Amino acid sequence: MNSRRQFFRTAGLAGGAVAAAAVSRVAMAALPEPVLQTSADTMPPLVPNTGRPYNPVVTLNGWTLPWRMNSGVKEFHLVAEPVVREMAPGMKAHLWGYNGQSPGPTIEVVEGDRVRIFVTNKLPEHTSVHWHGQRLPNGMDGVSGLTQPAIQPGKTFVYEFVARRPGTFMYHPHADEMTQMAMGMMGLWITHPKARHPLIDEVNRDFCFLLNAYDIDPGSYTPKIMTMLDFNLWSWNSRIFPGIDPLNVRLNDKVRIRIGNLTMTNHPIHVHGHEFVVTGTDGGPTPKSARWPEVTTDVAVGQMRQIDFVADEEGDWAFHCHKSHHTMNAMGHNVPTMIGVDHRGVAKKISKLIPDYMVMGERGMADMTEMEMPIPDNTVPMMTGQGPFGSVEMGGMFSVLKVRKDQKPGDYKDPGWYKHPAGTVAYEWTGALTEPARTQSGGGHMMPAQNMPAKEIEVQVRKPQAKSKHADH
Ligand SMILES: [Cu+2]
C-alpha cells in the first residue's frame, strides 16, 4: 500500500534536505531541517544519493530518515514528540515518537560512516537516546544520569560517533524508560557493510520492523503506561493486523527480514511455506557454523534477529507471532471459556434486561468475527481481516508474505490475493462418511486387556486425615 504521492513527497523532502547541504556555510552551521512523516504507509526504500552506496531496507509501515552530508559527516535530526499513530484503519493512538510517527524513522548508514545525530526534545519531560548495540564512546551511549545529563524539554543534544560494525540495531530512550517505551519511543538503525562481507549476503529485498505492545482500553486513545505484561495490542511498528502491510516479493528473491523486540515478552516469529536461517543478531552477523534451518525463531526481549531465505514458493504465506494471544486485537481478558456450554436459555433471559447482551464463544471464538457485535469507537475488532476465502480471524502481530512470479524487481506494490492454480486448494469432501472404528481395548501393551476391569469403576479418593502434623499439605 505504498502511496506514490507519499513517495514523491518523501523523496522531495530528502532532496530538499540534501540540496540544503549545498546552500551556504551559514546554513551548514545550523541544524539540519527535521523531516517529518505524516503517513503510516510503508515507504519505498530511500536510495542513497550521497555517501557510500548500499542496498536500502524497507521499513514495514515506516520510513528511512533522510540525512545531509556536512564535510563528510552524515547528519540526522530526530525530534522526540507526541504523535498520533494510526495503528490500523479505524484506530488511532496518542503515542510519543520521533518525527511525526511511532516508531521513529529508520536510520541507515554504512560501516565506517561518521554520524552526527541532533536530538530535539519536544516531549513534556526529559529524554535521551540510547543507540542499542553500537560500539561507541561511552559518553555517546545515551543513558541519562550515567553517561550524560538528560535532554530537558525544548533542548537539543548532539550525538556523534563512527558506525563501526555492520548490523541491525535499534534506538530508544534511556530516561523514564517505562513511560517512554510504553508510549512508543523507539526506532531501527541499520549499518550496511561497506564492501562485500563474508557473512552478509546481498539480498533482493530487505525488510525491517520492531515488535512493540500497547495497553489501550477499547474506546480510548492513550496507552496505560503502568501495564507490565497484560498488553492488549501486539504490534509491528505500532501497527496491528489488518493494518500491517504485506511483505511483497518476487519469486526466487533472496529476502532478509530484520526484527527487533522492545516489548516485555518474547515473540516466536513464524513464516509459512519456507525455511529461513538466522544470519545476524544485534551482536553482528552469525558465524556460518551457527546457522540452521528454522521456520520459527524466538525473538527475546531486547534482541534483534535477522533472518534470510529464498522466496521460492508462490502464494500468500502467513507470517506472524506464534503466540496465539498476540494475533488478536484489544479485548477483555476476563472471559470464561464457554465451549460446550449450552446457555441459550440464560442468554434469552438476560437479553430482555440488557438488549446488547451476547454470549461469547459457545462454539469457540470464531463466531465472534461474524457477529455484528457493537464495539466502542476507535477500536479494531479482536479477530478480523478479510481474505479471499472469508475472515482471516487474526489481529495483532500478523501479516502476509506475498510471493509472485510477476512482481517486478524493486516493486513493493501489493499484488492482490494469490490466484491458486486449479486443483491446489484444500476442498470439501462430499462423498459418504464411514463411522470411525474405535478401539475396544482396555489399555496398551504394558497393561493387557484381561487384567483390566471390563467396565468403568468408581474410584474413591480419601484425603488423608491429619493424624500427624506432617501429613498436612
Ligand atoms: Cu508475540
Over the stretch 75-133, which tens digit does the pLDDT of each residue have? 999 999 999 999 999 899 999 999 999 999 999 999 999 999 999 999 999 999 999 99
Question: Interior CA angle at 320 toward 250 and 89, to 5°?
Answer: 85
pLDDT for res 376: 76
Q: Return the domain boundaries, the chain.
A: 4-192, 205-325, 338-396
Of the two residues 364 and 320, the one the predictor is more confident about is 320
Task: Over range 461-468, report the average pLDDT.
Answer: 57
Distance of alpha carbon 187 from alpha carbon 210, whole angstroms? 7
Q: How far is the CA of 271 from the centre of ligand 1 (A)?
A: 13
Q: How far is the CA of 300 from the centre of ligand 1 (A)?
A: 10
22: cell is 549545498
* Element of type H or E holding 298: strand 296-299
Residue 427: CA count within 13 A, CB half-sphere: 8
Q: How far is the CA of 323 from the centre of ligand 1 (A)?
A: 5
Residues 2 and 44 sit within 8 Å (Cβ to Cβ): yes
pLDDT for res 444: 54
pLDDT for res 359: 52
Contacts with 399 (C-beta within 8 Å, 6 or more apart), sequence order? 60, 236, 241, 244, 245, 246, 247, 319, 320
Q: Looking at the domain that runs over 205-325, which CATH code has it been given?
A: 2.60.40.420
Q: How far is the CA of 177 from the centre of ligand 1 (A)?
A: 21
Residue 16, CA distances (Å) to 53, 64, 108, 407, 431 in order: 19, 15, 18, 31, 67
Task: Over range 294-304, report the average pLDDT.
Answer: 96
Of the two residues 20 and 240, the one the predictor is more confident about is 240
Amino acid in the structure at residue 105: P
Q: How far is the CA of 364 from the centre of ligand 1 (A)?
A: 21
Task: Identify any residues that bridge with 92 across adjacent strands, giving them in sequence order.
Answer: 86
Q: How far is the CA of 236 from the centre of ligand 1 (A)?
A: 10
**In the predicted model, is pLDDT for residue 202 greater than 60?**
yes
- DSSP per residue over 139-166, as a string? GGS--BTTTB--B-TT-EEEEEEE--S-
Q: How far is the CA of 397 from the centre of ligand 1 (A)?
A: 7
Residues 81 and 163 sit within 8 Å (Cβ to Cβ): no
Q: How far is the CA of 398 from the centre of ligand 1 (A)?
A: 9
Residues 86 and 245 sit within 8 Å (Cβ to Cβ): no
**In the predicted model, is pLDDT for residue 27 greater than 80?**
no
Q: How far is the CA of 297 from the centre of ligand 1 (A)?
A: 11
Task: Over range 164-178, report the average pLDDT.
Answer: 95
Q: How far is the CA of 396 from the centre of ligand 1 (A)?
A: 9
**In the predicted model, is pLDDT for residue 469 greater than 70?**
no
Note the pTM of the prediction, 2 decimals: 0.81
Domain pair 4-192 / 205-325, same fold = yes
pLDDT for res 380: 78
Q: How far is the CA of 328 from the centre of ligand 1 (A)?
A: 10
Residues 116 and 75 sit within 8 Å (Cβ to Cβ): yes
Q: How far is the CA of 337 from the centre of ligand 1 (A)?
A: 22
Q: Which CATH architecture has domain 4-192?
A: Sandwich (2.60)
Q: How far is the CA of 367 from the centre of ligand 1 (A)?
A: 23
Q: How far is the CA of 201 from the centre of ligand 1 (A)?
A: 28
Distance of alpha carbon 54 from alpha carbon 51, whole angstroms? 9
pLDDT for res 392: 86
Q: How far is the CA of 355 from the centre of ligand 1 (A)?
A: 36
Q: Report the chain's terminal Cα–Cα distance, integer Å.
A: 61
From the number of C-beta atoms within 10 Å of its C-beta (0-12, 13-18, 19+), residue 63 rates as: buried
Q: How far is the CA of 330 from the centre of ligand 1 (A)?
A: 14
pLDDT band at 271 (very low <50, low <70, confident <90, very high): very high
Q: How far is the CA of 401 from the centre of ligand 1 (A)?
A: 17
21: cell is 547541504
pLDDT for res 22: 47
3-state class (DSSP) for residue 473: coil
Cα–Cα nearest to 285, from 419, 169, 406: 169
Task: Identify any residues that bridge with 187 across adjacent strands, giving them in sequence order.
Answer: 171
pLDDT for res 284: 92
Q: How far is the CA of 289 from the centre of ligand 1 (A)?
A: 28
Cα–Cα nearest to 413, from 257, 250, 256: 250
* Least confident range of 183-197, 218-232, 341-355, 372-386: 341-355
Residue 162, CA distances (Å) to 29, 96, 146, 148 in order: 20, 28, 21, 18
Q: How far is the CA of 262 from the centre of ligand 1 (A)?
A: 11
Q: How far is the CA of 20 from the centre of ligand 1 (A)?
A: 43
Q: How far is the CA of 266 from the centre of ligand 1 (A)?
A: 6
Amino acid in the structure at residue 319: F
